[in-house]
């Protein structure tokens, strides 16, 4: 088990991070116009709403929650010292986990049953969705079977992850964790490794800067009313601003 733990929690994380970084840069530079989610809303949008919204909101909240525990473990431990806050924290996390699970099931069903979406589905779409499904199921299992995950994440997993980024990996605590939690960790690094080869890469080019940029000002260089008379049903000459 020592050799397996060394590979899964020391070698594999560095392999995953390396492929993610190099692969993402390579894909963007060689095929930048396809770094997107290949939105299927043009093919079908009504049923997709019930999968897209709960999945994306849930996955964003869970990601930010995991990131916060990783970055500020001491703060999380202090917050969880109050039982009410701990139960509230865990309840919110599990609720959004169920949201992701329900949304993903809707999206997978929609993908496999809608002919037009199935026509543009690739093998990697199926692989990454099955991997996400197993990861969410494992996460819910861990949340129910190994309670107060935010606390032991802060005390055990955060130091391990920091040791990976500091290039001085320490897997003492991780090696002693239950198998379900180990699989959840390995699943996370596997998803990271596959991002450059799947549509998940679209989150790297999401237009988050739109939230902070100033309002766009549209200026006309002509009298638009004189060029196109809105009360006229048609014109002999094609408008110059069309």
Give the C-alpha separation, 89 to 92, whole Å.
Answer: 5
Residue 21 pLDDT exceeds 70: yes
Beta carbons within 8 Å of 224's beta carbon, 6+ residues apart: 241
Lowest-pLDDT range of 85-99, 128-142, 192-206: 192-206
**Mean pLDDT confidence for 132-142:** 94
For the stretch 164-187, what's the b/e string if a residue is b when 16 or more beta carbons lie within 10 angstroms of its beta carbon? beeeebebeebbebeeebbbbbbb
Residue 168 pLDDT exceeds 80: yes
Rounded to the nearest integer, the mean pLDDT of the chain is 84
Q: pTM for the full model?
A: 0.79
Q: What distance, in Å, lies between the first and last C-alpha atoms of the chain?
A: 69
Percent of the chain with pLDDT over 90: 53
Residue 120 pLDDT exceeds 90: no
Q: Give the pLDDT confidence score for residue 207 in this predicted structure.
A: 66
Q: Give the pLDDT confidence score for residue 229 in this predicted structure.
A: 58
Give the C-alpha separation, 208 to 195, whole Å.
Answer: 19
The residue whose two tokens read 């869970």 is: 62
Q: 68 and 61 in contact (C-beta within 8 Å)?
A: no
Q: Give the pLDDT confidence score for residue 188 in this predicted structure.
A: 95
Confidence of residue 29 (pLDDT cuts 50, 70, 90): confident
- C-alpha distance from residue 126 to each of 42, 106, 107 (Å): 20, 14, 11
- 161 HSE (CA, 13 A, CB side): 19
The DSSP element (H or E) to which 174 belongs, if any, is helix 172-175
Q: Give the pLDDT confidence score for residue 242 in this predicted structure.
A: 47
- 146 or 237: whose pLDDT is higher? 146
Give the C-alpha separation, 203 to 190, whole Å.
Answer: 17
Residue 38 pLDDT exceeds 90: no
Q: Give the pLDDT confidence score for residue 44 in this predicted structure.
A: 58
Task: Give the pLDDT confidence of 51-108 residue by residue, as tens digits.
Answer: 888 998 999 999 999 999 999 999 999 999 999 999 998 999 999 999 999 999 998 8
Confidence of residue 218 (pLDDT cuts 50, 70, 90): low
């Amino acid at each position: 088990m020592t050799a397996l733990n060394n590979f899964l929690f020391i070698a594999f994380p560095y392999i995953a991070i390396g492929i993610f970084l190099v692969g993402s840069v390579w894909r963007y530079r060689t095929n930048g116009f396809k770094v997107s989610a290949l939105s299927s809303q043009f093919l079908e949008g009504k049923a997709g709403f019930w999968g897209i919204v709960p999945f994306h909101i849930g996955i964003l909240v869970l990601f930010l929650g995991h990131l916060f525990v990783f970055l500020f473990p001491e703060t999380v431990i202090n917050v969880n010292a109050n039982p009410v806050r701990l139960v509230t924290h865990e309840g919110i996390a599990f609720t959004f986990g169920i949201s992701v699970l329900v949304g993903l099931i809707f999206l997978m069903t929609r993908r496999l049953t809608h002919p037009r979406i199935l026509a543009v589905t690739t093998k990697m779409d199926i692989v990454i969705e099955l991997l996400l499904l197993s990861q969410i199921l494992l996460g819910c299992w861990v949340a129910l079977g190994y309670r107060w995950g935010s606390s032991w994440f802060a005390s055990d997993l955060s130091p391990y992850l920091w040791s990976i980024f500091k290039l001085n990996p320490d897997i003492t605590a991780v090696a002693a964790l239950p198998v379900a939690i180990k699989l959840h960790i390995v699943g996370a690094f596997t998803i990271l490794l596959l991002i450059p080869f799947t549509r998940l890469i679209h989150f790297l080019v999401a237009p988050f800067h739109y939230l902070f940029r100033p309002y766009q000002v549209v200026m006309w260089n002509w009298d638009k009313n004189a060029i196109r008379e809105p009360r006229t049903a048609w014109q002999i000459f094609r408008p110059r601003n069309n």
